[in-house]
């Protein structure tokens, strides 16, 4: 029966090996794999398929139980139903008495002695039988006392050994404590005073440096008593935007002051007055990676970076790296029809552009929803078509038109909203109109040289300054900029 049960178990295990599915775990590379073994995108863009796993049954069988039995052999039963017949005593030949009773008893013979001894033997045997249990008890008591005495002797020897070991350990610890005491005493007497003197010298040097800094600050204060001269003066001409400045005579590409709304204070922008008849207002610029674009929601709302630099000509004609700010971009694009020009350059010097005739950013109440249309250019239509490297639903996931703006501290993308472990902005390095996740990532991380790998990326994703329809996912551009201006059909 046991053999049949074991055979049935083996057949069941073999059947389970062919029918046991497993949940979708990651492979050794950390990336989930589909049924064909191909790596799946780390951000979860691709659908997963359930795979199969093997199951090895436990072939071990325990041995039979062995060891000493709990019972001894049975005792032999005593015989029953038999009576012992007394042996009739016979007088010895030769007789122990006279032939005639009247003659009396003769002197003792061997027969009489035998009879007497037999009677005494019976009495002695009875007494011996009575004494035998007492002797056995005495023997057992003697053995127990002997064993107890041996145990006491062994315990005494063990305690003596423990006392000896404890004395040795105490001696060792005493020596160690004495050594540590000597070390501490030496440290307190010599090392500490030496260190205190060194720290006192360092403190004196720091005090001198503080005094020098105080003198330098005083000199700077005295120098600032007179009005400072601006090294990068702002042109006198200004306007609502760069197109207005161009029409007012500001034909040079440099930093200007604009005021789109009279109820809000003016602010600085860089105007490109040379590309495609000018009038372009620079809202985003990436040139050298000097500004970190991995910012919070409030930073992208207000804007950050450096507007422009003076290279020695007396005015700021060199743009810096900056993001104008979502509130300002939304205000400018909602003033009327607006077009956007996106220019980019790779590390060989090649340049392309993408232009959209309609470009609008909604207000913060809608999380700055992006709306574009009317593509033309040479870079590829990422905003409306998504990545041309993908197909079907995977391409749809990379379209940016209609998306809300996302930063790593405010997740508005389409990749499992509300899951903090699945955020496009956190993985791809900057704030942007992410879908799930992108085909264009102008605000991503800056990689020098162009090509980069998953191992170089912080989260193993294409987090560089990519425009997939031109250079693919794993090429980070050298420069990219976004410029807007009012759209007129007569252009």
Domains and CATH numbers, the chain: 242-486 (3.90.215.10)
Which portions of the chain are predicted below pLDDT 50?
13-14, 16-71, 73-74, 88-95, 230
Tokens, residue 119: 């009677």
- What is residue 216's predicted lDDT score, i.e. its pLDDT? 87
- What is residue 478's predicted lDDT score, i.e. its pLDDT? 97
- What is residue 82's predicted lDDT score, i.e. its pLDDT? 54
Give the single-character DSSP code of 25.
Answer: -
Euclidean distance between CA atoms 41 and 467, whole angstroms: 18
CA distance readout (Å), 269 to 283, 356, 403, 450 = 8, 21, 26, 29
Euclidean distance between CA atoms 205 and 211, whole angstroms: 10
Euclidean distance between CA atoms 78 and 237, whole angstroms: 137
- What is residue 327's predicted lDDT score, i.e. its pLDDT? 96
- What is residue 16's predicted lDDT score, i.e. its pLDDT? 43
286 membership: H or E segment, kind and range:
strand 280-286
For residue 463, with 0-12 CB atoms within 10 Å meaning exposed, 13-18 middle and 19 or more buried, which class applies? buried
- What is residue 28's predicted lDDT score, i.e. its pLDDT? 34
- What is residue 186's predicted lDDT score, i.e. its pLDDT? 83
pTM: 0.57
- pLDDT tens figures, 19-38: 433 333 333 333 333 333 34
CB of 376 closer than 8 Å to CB of 360: no
- pLDDT tens figures, 250-287: 999 999 999 999 899 999 999 999 999 999 999 999 99
Question: What proportions of the chain, in percent to the nearest 5, are helix, strand and coil?
Answer: 35, 15, 45
């Amino acid at each position: 029966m046991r053999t049949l049960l074991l055979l049935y178990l083996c057949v069941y295990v073999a059947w389970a090996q062919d029918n046991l599915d497993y949940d979708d775990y990651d492979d050794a590379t950390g990336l989930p794999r589909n049924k064909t073994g191909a790596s799946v995108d780390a951000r979860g863009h691709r659908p997963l398929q359930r795979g199969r796993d093997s199951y090895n049954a436990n072939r071990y069988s325990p041995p039979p139980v062995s060891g000493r039995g709990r019972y001894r052999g049975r005792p032999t039963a005593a015989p029953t139903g038999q009576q012992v017949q007394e042996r009739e005593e016979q007088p010895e030949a030769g007789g122990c008495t006279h032939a005639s009773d009247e003659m009396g008893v003769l002197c003792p013979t061997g027969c009489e002695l035998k009879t007497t001894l037999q009677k005494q033997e019976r009495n002695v045997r009875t007494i011996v039988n009575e004494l035998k249990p007492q002797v056995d008890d005495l023997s057992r008591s003697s053995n127990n006392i002997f064993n107890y005495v041996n145990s006491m002797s062994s315990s005494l020897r063990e305690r003596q050994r423990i006392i000896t070991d404890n004395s040795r350990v105490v001696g060792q610890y005493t020596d160690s404590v004495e050594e540590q005491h000597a070390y501490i005493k030496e440290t307190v007497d010599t090392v500490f005073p030496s260190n205190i003197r060194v720290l006192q010298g360092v403190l004196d040097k720091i005090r001198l440096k503080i005094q020098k800094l105080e003198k330098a600050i005083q000199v700077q204060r005295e120098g600032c008593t007179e009005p400072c001269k601006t090294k990068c003066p702002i042109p006198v001409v200004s306007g609502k935007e760069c197109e207005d400045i161009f029409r007012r005579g500001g034909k040079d590409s440099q930093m200007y002051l604009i005021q789109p709304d009279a109820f809000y204070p003016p602010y600085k922008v860089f105007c490109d007055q040379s590309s495609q008849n000018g009038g372009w207002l620079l809202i985003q610029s990436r040139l050298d990676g000097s500004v970190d674009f991995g910012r919070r929601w409030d930073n992208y709302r207000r804007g950050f970076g450096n507007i422009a630099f003076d290279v020695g000509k007396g005015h700021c004609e060199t743009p810096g790296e900056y993001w104008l700010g979502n509130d300002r971009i939304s205000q400018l694009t909602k003033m009327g029809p607006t077009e956007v020009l996106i220019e980019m350059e790779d590390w060989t010097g090649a340049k392309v552009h993408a232009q959209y005739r309609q470009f609008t950013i909604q207000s913060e109440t809608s999380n700055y929803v992006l709306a574009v249309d009317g593509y033309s250019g040479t870079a590829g239509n990422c905003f409306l078509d998504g990545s041309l490297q993908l197909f079907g639903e995977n391409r749809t996931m990379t379209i940016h038109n209609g998306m809300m703006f996302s930063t790593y501290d405010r997740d508005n993308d389409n990749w499992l909203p509300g899951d903090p472990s699945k955020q496009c902005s956190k993985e791809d390095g900057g704030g942007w109109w992410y879908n799930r996740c992108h085909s264009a990532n102008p605000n991503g991380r800056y990689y020098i040289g162009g090509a980069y790998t998953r191992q170089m990326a912080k989260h193993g994703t294409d987090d560089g300054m990519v425009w997939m329809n031109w250079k693919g996912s794993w090429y980070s551009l050298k420069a990219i900029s976004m410029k807007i201006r009012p759209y007129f059909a007569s252009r």
